[in-house]
Each structure stands twice: as structure tokens, then as C-alpha cells.
Amino acid sequence: MRAFNYDIPTKVYFGEGKIKHLPDLIKQFGNKVLLTYGGGSIKRNGIYDEVQDLLKGCKIFELSGIDPNPRIETVREGAKICKENDIDVILAVGGGSTIDCSKVIAAAAKYDGDAWDLVMDGSLITDALPLVDILTLSATGTEMNFNAVITNFDVKMKQGTASKHLYPYASILDPTYTYTVPANQTAAGTADIMSHTIENYFQAEDNAFITDGLSESILRATIKYLPIALEDPENYEARSNLMWASTVALNGLTSMGKGGGWTTHPIEHYLSAYYDITHAVGLAILTPRWMRYILSNKTVDRFARYANKVWDIEETDDKFAMAEEAIEKTYQFFVDNGLPMTLPEVGIETDEHFEEMAKGPAERLSRAYVPLNPEDVVEILNRCMTE
């Protein structure tokens, strides 16, 4: 196992009704609140009214309309509201896009230059407003991590930034708030959870027994509970397990004692930056193709373990057969749960940008579990064009 530090300051309030803690969490910071949210789902499902009720007495400013794949322009707008009105605390209510956008707003509110500087270089973040969030979609893990991903279409970049100042102060995780997440977003969110886990699971260190066991447990939970959540959207057991899986998959625990770079995420961020597709749909399409591409004598043991521990495939001497079956099951799981599995299905009809896109993540992919060069990426993307 590699050495590590683990230091996450975020307070987690998990379970039905935990919103009751909201007034105390917010009011300790002051009276002026910036409430951020997306396209209106929180108005339709009643969370907006609940928040307004609980925060009576606070002066609430609003930034709504935060898009999936949040834009730098929205960050700038939010930072301006914070600076002009001397906001005390930000309350983000929504999925990863709303929370990520709010994280960078919180930092940009304390920064004199342009917010995009902070996305390009997290070390420039030296302070941030406190951020409390109410998560409404199980997917990204942003509720308990220090990352934020922002898109700048002007320069065709979707870029992650990170800083210890970006941890939410507190996250309210009430699984009942995810009952209204539509089927396609539920499936996509689960693919994101799986991808975060898989990115950490497929790494060079094979002796991080506890960490790998946790990853296997998360993957088994997603495989068990996604179909239940789709069939019965108000199933608390399914929604609560998916919600906690989302948090644990990317709050650092699945990488403790391990290390190395990721693969499908760096590639997917370029797909989203060029085509504005749903993050996790891109991941679902890429993951099985990437797995097949890197299967070799060097990686087959890890795949065989994945096959046995995650998919219950019987152990045999033919580890390649086990690996192939596990990759096929991964692919089929996404298909069975309604995810589009080719790029043309999400509107990417030609390979015209593949070579250009493949250059973007080159540096990161040189540090991946199996390092990839731009030609490898183009080949993987080409394989995503057909079933």
C-alpha cells in the first residue's frame, strides 16, 4: 500500500429529513445567502419551497439556470453577485453541475482576477466562501470532495480544478430528494459512480486489500440497486445505497493506498467539451471499449479479480475468458439499464474531431494504469462508433 493523508472536513448529514439541520448550518455564517440551482427540478419537486421555509429571516439571493456541464460564464455571474452583495454563505441545491459551479463561485468570490484562472490552476485558490449543499442526484461525489469541473466552450475545454478550499462545509444527503431523478439521469449517475470506482480499482497497486474490497462493494451495490431504482423510483433502500455509493466512490476512500492516473474521465471531458454530452453517458460508452483495449497479459489478473468479485464469474484457469465475460457484462449492464452505448446515439456522427480531441488528455494519459498515446485514444473512440 502506498502512504497517504486523509483529511476531509465536510460534514455529512445523511438520511430522510436531514434538511432540518439547514437553518443552523447556514445561519452560523450570517444572513446573506446565495441560493444556486439548475433548470428548475427543485421547484417541481418541492425542495425549493422547503428551503425557503426553513431559511425565513435570511436574505436570499438566487442564481438559477446552472446548466449540466456548468459554464465559466455562470461562475462569473455568481461571483459577481457574491461580491456586490457581500454574500456570507452559498447554498447549492442540485446535482454535480450546480455544486461544482458553486464551489468555483465560492472561490472566485474571494479572488480579484478572472474565475477561469482558478479552473486552470487550483493553486491560485487561497480562500473561498463557505458552501453548504443539498444533493439531489447520486453521481459525482462532489458532495464530499475538493474537485469541480467547469466548461469553457470558447476554448473547447472542460477542466477540473481542485483545492482544499473547495470542500463543501456540509452536505445534506437525503435519498428521498433523488426520487424524482428521471430514469436516464439515474442510470447515467450510476455509470459515473461505477466509473469513479473502476478508475481507482484498475491501478498498479494490487495489495490495497481494504480499498479494493470497498470498491468491489460499491460496484456490487450499483449493480444491485440501479435496476431497482429504475423499476421503483421511490425505493428508499435503492436510492439510499446509490447515494452513499456516489459519495464514497469519490471522497478519496477508493484511492487510499493506491495511485496513478485515470483514463476514461480525461477522454470523456473532451467529448463533453466538444459535444456537450452527458458526462456519464460518455463514460458508459468508453468504459467497456477501454477495458477491451487494455486487456493483456499485464492486466489480465486484475480483470479476472474484477470478474470474480464484482460479477460473480467463477474462477477458472482461463483468466482471459473471465476478463472477456466481465467486460461483456459491464457493457450489457449499461445497455440493459437504458444507456446509449455508441457515439452516434448521442449525436457524434463522425470522427472529424477525434485526432484533435485525443491530444488534449495526452499528458494525463501518459500516467494512466495502462498509458495511452493519442493514437490509442483515436482507436478507442473509433470503436465507440459502433456497437
Positions touching ligand NZQ (CB under 6 A) are 38-42, 45, 68-69, 94-98, 100, 136-137, 139-142, 145, 147-149, 177-178, 180-181, 185, 189, 192, 250, 265, 279-280
Measured CA distances, 152 to 175, 237, 269 (Å): 32, 38, 11
- Residue 140 DSSP symbol: S
Give the nearer residue to ligand NZQ in terms of CB position, either 74 or 97.
97
Q: Which residue is nearest to Zn ion (CB)?
A: 192
Q: Which amino acid is at 314?
A: E
Closest distance between ligand NZQ and the C-beta of residue 88, in Å? 23
Give the nearer residue to Zn ion in terms of CB position, either 192 or 376.
192
- Residue 253 DSSP symbol: G
d(CA 183, CA 231): 9
Which of the listed partners (ligand NZQ, Zn ion, none) does 137 bind, with a CB threshold of 5 to 8 Å by partner kind?
ligand NZQ
CA atoms within 13 A on the CB side of 294: 23
Closest distance between Zn ion and the C-beta of residue 226, in Å? 16
Pairing of strands 32-36, 89-94: parallel
Q: Which residue is nearest to ligand NZQ (CB)?
A: 38
d(CA 196, CA 248): 10
Which of the listed partners (ligand NZQ, Zn ion, none) does 145 bind, with a CB threshold of 5 to 8 Å by partner kind?
ligand NZQ
d(CA 169, CA 54): 18
Closest distance between ligand NZQ and the C-beta of residue 324, in Å? 27
Cell of 35: 441560493
Which of the listed partners (ligand NZQ, Zn ion, none) does 33 bind, with a CB threshold of 5 to 8 Å by partner kind?
none
Measured CA distances, 205 to 193, 201, 211, 253, 327 (Å): 21, 9, 10, 15, 21
Closest distance between ligand NZQ and the C-beta of residue 166, in Å? 9
Give the binding-site size for Zn ion (rule: CB under 5 A).
Answer: 1
d(CA 55, CA 30): 11
Closest distance between ligand NZQ and the C-beta of residue 350, in Å? 23
Give the nearer residue to ligand NZQ in terms of CB position, either 262 or 307.
262
Candidate ranges 23-31, 184-192, 333-341, 358-366; the one touching Zn ion (CB under 5 A): 184-192
Closest distance between ligand NZQ and the C-beta of residue 296, in Å? 26
Nearest to 269 by CA among 376, 368, 149: 149
The backbone torsions φ and ψ at residue 194, rounded to the nearest 5 degrees and listed phi first, read -65, -40
Which of the listed partners (Zn ion, ligand NZQ, none) does 239 bind, with a CB threshold of 5 to 8 Å by partner kind?
none
- Which parts of 191-230 interact with Zn ion (CB under 5 A)? 192
Give the nearer residue to ligand NZQ in terms of CB position, either 141 or 288.
141
Closest distance between ligand NZQ and the C-beta of residue 56, in Å? 23
Give the nearer residue to Zn ion in terms of CB position, either 38 or 95.
95
How many degrees, rounded to 5, is the angle at CA 185 between CA 259 and CA 281?
A: 55
List of residues 6+ apart from 351 with CB closer than 8 A: 378, 381, 382, 385
Measured CA distances, 26 to 75, 169, 211, 216 (Å): 21, 10, 34, 36
Closest distance between ligand NZQ and the C-beta of residue 313, in Å? 27
Candidate ranges 14-22, 39-47, 72-80, 186-194; the one touching Zn ion (CB under 5 A): 186-194
Lookup result for grid cell 447515467: 188
Candidate ranges 121-129, 158-166, 187-195, 314-322; the one touching Zn ion (CB under 5 A): 187-195
Q: Which helix (H) or strand (E) holds 172?
A: strand 170-173
Interface positions with Zn ion (CB under 5 A): 192
